[in-house]
Structure 1
Amino acid sequence: MKSLCNLIVFIGIIILLGFSSCSSNEDELPKELTIEDKIELLEKGDWLLKGLEKNVKHTFKSGKRSTFYGIDGVFTTPIPRTFDYYKTNEKLTINYGGSNIKSYEVEFSCENTIVSFFINKEVLQVLYKEGSNYKTCIE
């Protein structure tokens, strides 16, 4: 009888430890990024234009998008013209000058190293985070 009680206590402890070490499903689900989160991610990196990774780089800082031209991945001074960007609802709006204003849906992928800009579900531009491992996602 004593060994039966010990066995029941032992099994109870194992079950208790098993349940106490489980994390909730809430912790495992990826968080949906808000437009503010997406702008913050854009502002934390330098971004290479898909297809021209060694020649065109964009930065997003304090509401201004700057463009750099480079040779073989060496970028120096940005071109003098910057473009204002801001959030509109859940979109990123870039004012390219005059009435040329575009509002994009922004989608990050590959651990936030690739960003795609959409209008009406059509991809218009893809940027890769400079210095990241984005190539592992596209090879």
Structure 2
Amino acid sequence: MTKKGNKFFIYLAIISAITLTSCGSANEDFSLELSLQEKVTILESNAWLLKGYEDRVMHTFKNGEQFTYYGTDNEFSDTPIPGTQDYSISGNLLIVDYHFDNIVNYELKLSCNNNIVDFYKDGVLNKTLYRKNSNYKECL
């Protein structure tokens, strides 16, 4: 009976170790990267403040166009400034056409519960946008 009791506890310990190890790797699978289309959908559903000019420059994205708004002390015009930048998706890049042969390919990285978007050009951080009316400051 003692041998059976010892075997039972050994099997229980092995099963517990396997189960706990499996749970750890399964949790890592839940943190999958968003697709570029999902990131663009997030961009298009919000207004974004330009880092360093949060109280003066705001961008919106809609139907392949980026609009820019100017403001003072977080009060922004209802009308964007004239001219837009066109954007599209190609593979895993957001392509922004600033016109006059100035086309830039960006990789997007979202953080802070999708409240911060970093635009990387050739692996170098080019600009950062903060979601308007979010708690992005808690992540800085």
> 1:89: Cα distance to partner?
1.1
TM-score (ref. length: structure 2) = 0.79
Matching of residues 41-120 of structure 1 within 5 Å: 41-76=42-77, 77-120=79-122
TM-score (ref. length: structure 1) = 0.79
Counterpart of 2:133 in structure 1 is 131
> 1:39: Cα distance to partner?
0.4
> 1:28: Cα distance to partner?
6.2
Distance 1:54 1:80 in 2: 20
Distance 1:64 1:119 in 2: 19
> 1:27: Cα distance to partner?
8.6
Please, which runs of 5 or more residues in structure 2 have no aligned partner? 1-22
Q: How many residue pairs end up in the alignment?
A: 120
> 1:54: Cα distance to partner?
0.2
Distance 2:64 2:49 in 1: 18
Distance 1:109 1:131 in 2: 16
> 1:121: Cα distance to partner?
1.4
Please, which runs of 5 or more residues in structure 1 have no aligned partner? 1-21
RMSD between superposed Cα atoms in Å: 2.1
Counterpart of 1:39 in structure 2 is 40
Q: Which runs of 4+ in 1 moved over 2 A?
A: 24-28
> 1:25: Cα distance to partner?
2.2
Give the fraction of aligned pairs with identical amino acids, expressed as a percent.
43
